[in-house]
Structure 1
């Protein structure tokens, strides 16, 4: 595929494609307060129609606590589940604006604090990202039990930013989780020891800032090139390592429509993606 000449935009190739280890800190400091309030137990149908958040104290072994925050949509389930992995020295609430937008569109969104990479860990270890795909699989399994009747086990996706996107790549390659039907990688590249993408095809959307110096454009596009499944690449020419904060409305709109299409089969949402991605000529969707 041809590269950019200056600022000329490469247009969408979604038609057929969609139809058919040194990282620095990945986010800004977390808010001082939790976003939203915990909802009551979802055991009664009236309470299932309430939007809000819940907290779970999952644990994969004695030294791998995985406290998990869940954003719940309004309405009656079951809803698709989007599992989200944070970046280094970050936590789920750092992405609350984006995750809340997905929940408002009708998705359950869940994100854990990884034991050795979240922003308040007492034992920070960037290399521990190689263990995070197994953490992710554990949390997804626990959520299917804890939110039975609210989460649809046949419509699960994984997303992540930076080290969390690398974790997500692992879930579609060497640690393939066949429950996943779609994936989103924001500023992501392959695992430190790359493995080929494996298992049943799943649509993948890459979101990348052209000015990112932490995960470079070449690294992200290299991972994209390794995918033989339905895929798309959202490029923000002025975006940095935090493209979801550089262009929040563009990223929220494009990713939400991607979820609506890939997890709900909404063809109109798929058709909107090129328009979502190119307001004022700021972005291009390959």
Structure 2
């Protein structure tokens, strides 16, 4: 299919250079922690870090519920089922921190999202990347790892009903069993495999909804070609929603490349914290706090998608 490469915004915009941004835990919303250890003012002292804000809930799905004051910044979103997400020094990457996700069961879900004040055209997306980590204490299916989402809007930059995403998962891009205990880097481009979480997007012949049991995968380039009038209103990373079992992991160095509209990389760090724990310390923390009652038995179930 012919893939358009001209990028537009919902308002006229000038080409933007690439930039790198450090995202500190103090920049997240100050929300409570359900099970990440003893916390005071959002700073967990338990199994998943000694500093950093985490969340238990922040409202519903979809960008329509996010105020303009929370645009152009990372916020905790869609946190349900006892899951948590926050920036802590547990499994630090590229500095003293990373964005840590923990979910106790298949009913859990947690996201970090960055919603743009000025959306850009889906037709201008070039690629992106992120670093991800799956902890050895996870007992959900071994193919499941944190996902990357392009959050879509209509031609005017308004959120589509129910929240609409194009979703990148490592398992559908050559990672059969997600490595545990070591950071991985996922890089995607127009040839990478994505799936759409609902029918608000146009699908190629034979491409059905994942949720109806169909064949729901296509290349990012083909999704763009069929939906060139849509916009990207944000990006997100997250875990859960349809996963089975418990998961602990992390994400860092999230990037996007929107061609002439610019590119960016976000590094998650803990403000005012210099020490990075040794791997042995992580293991002691997990054992000491009996991390959310995970069974150490691995399951071998087939992978399930995350919305």
**Given the two structures, how large is their TM-score scaled by the length of structure 1?**
0.31
Q: Return the structure number with greater relative CO, CA threshold 8 A, min gap 6.
A: 2
**Given the two structures, how large is their TM-score scaled by the length of structure 2?**
0.29
Q: Which has the higher helix share?
A: 1
Q: Which has the larger radius of gyration?
A: 2
Q: Which has the higher strand share?
A: 2
